[in-house]
Amino acid sequence: MQLAGKIAIVTGGASGIGRATAELFALEGASVVVADVNEQAGRAATELIAKSGGRACFERADVTLADDCRRLVDRALREFGRIDILLNNAGIIRRATILDLSEEDWDRVMAVNVKSIYLLSREVIPHMQKSGGGSIINTASGWGLAGGMRAAVYCASKGAVVLLTKAMALDHGPQKIRVNCICPGDTDTGMLRNEAQQLGEPSDHFLEEAAKRPLGRVGSPADIAHAVLYLASDASSFVTGAALVVDGGGLAGTI
């Protein structure tokens, strides 16, 4: 059990990569606070963890709001006493060029994908400092390292996550807080299927195109969760400031 006795917060934990990671963290011995705006799915996730013998609680939180982030951290401390791991995973995508993108969508994507990391990390880091360290993992994307078509604001936001991660690693390494990011490729989640809808493409065809990479398939949420587990655990104790690409080789020939 790689996370025995650890306490973790997982944002965007009601579905997709976040839910798979919350479940895996619990299986590996962590107590997990699942945060999401989707209360029904979030509670279902924590109930499943409990049925499997794990410890988890759900807190509804919009992590673009400072008050919600503060309340989320207070809940984690109230329930479990400290915070060892933070997965900043909440994210959204809007598929559009700059010309087709509304200002509202630009602001919303940047708020969910980037500002949320700032707000929640600002609340968590002082508690990690007091307890002697911790691990923060931010969800970036392969498109944070290489551009993609009709995804201007998403690419901008995930590029920001990569460099924010590196800056945080420099600032907080002396306090034994490791900060890394995960860069998934196309992963079979509701968000990926929503991309197909945004682009007006049949989801089956969209997934077939997404699978055209060296390993010949899209990722599963579990694929990404196991990589996050590595960054959360002591197995990566000398790793900080890294952007770990988990994409079936999709970027292997581009960066």
Host domain of residue 137: 7-187+220-246
Residue of 80, 143, 154, 206 with catalytic role = 154
Alpha-helical runs (H) found in 15-115: 16-27, 39-51, 66-80, 103-110
Q: What's the one-letter identity of residue 246?
A: V
The answer to whether residue 199 is domain-embedded is: no
The answer to whether residue 112 is domain-embedded is: yes
The answer to whether residue 231 is domain-embedded is: yes
189: pLDDT strictly greater than 80:
yes
Question: Would you call 230 a catalytic residue per the annotation?
Answer: no
Per residue in 231-254, pLDDT (tens digit) is 999 999 999 999 999 999 999 988
Q: How high does pLDDT run on average in the chain?
A: 97
pTM of this prediction exceeds 0.95: yes
Given a contact cutoff of 8 angstroms between Cβ atoms, the answer to whether 181 and 241 are in contact is no
d(CA 72, CA 96) in angstroms, rounded, equals 32
The answer to whether residue 18 is domain-embedded is: yes
The answer to whether residue 27 is domain-embedded is: yes
Domains in the chain: how many in total?
1
CATH of the domain at 102: 3.40.50.720
Q: Give the confidence band of 73 by pLDDT, cuts at 50, 70, 90.
A: very high
133 by DSSP, 3-state: which? coil
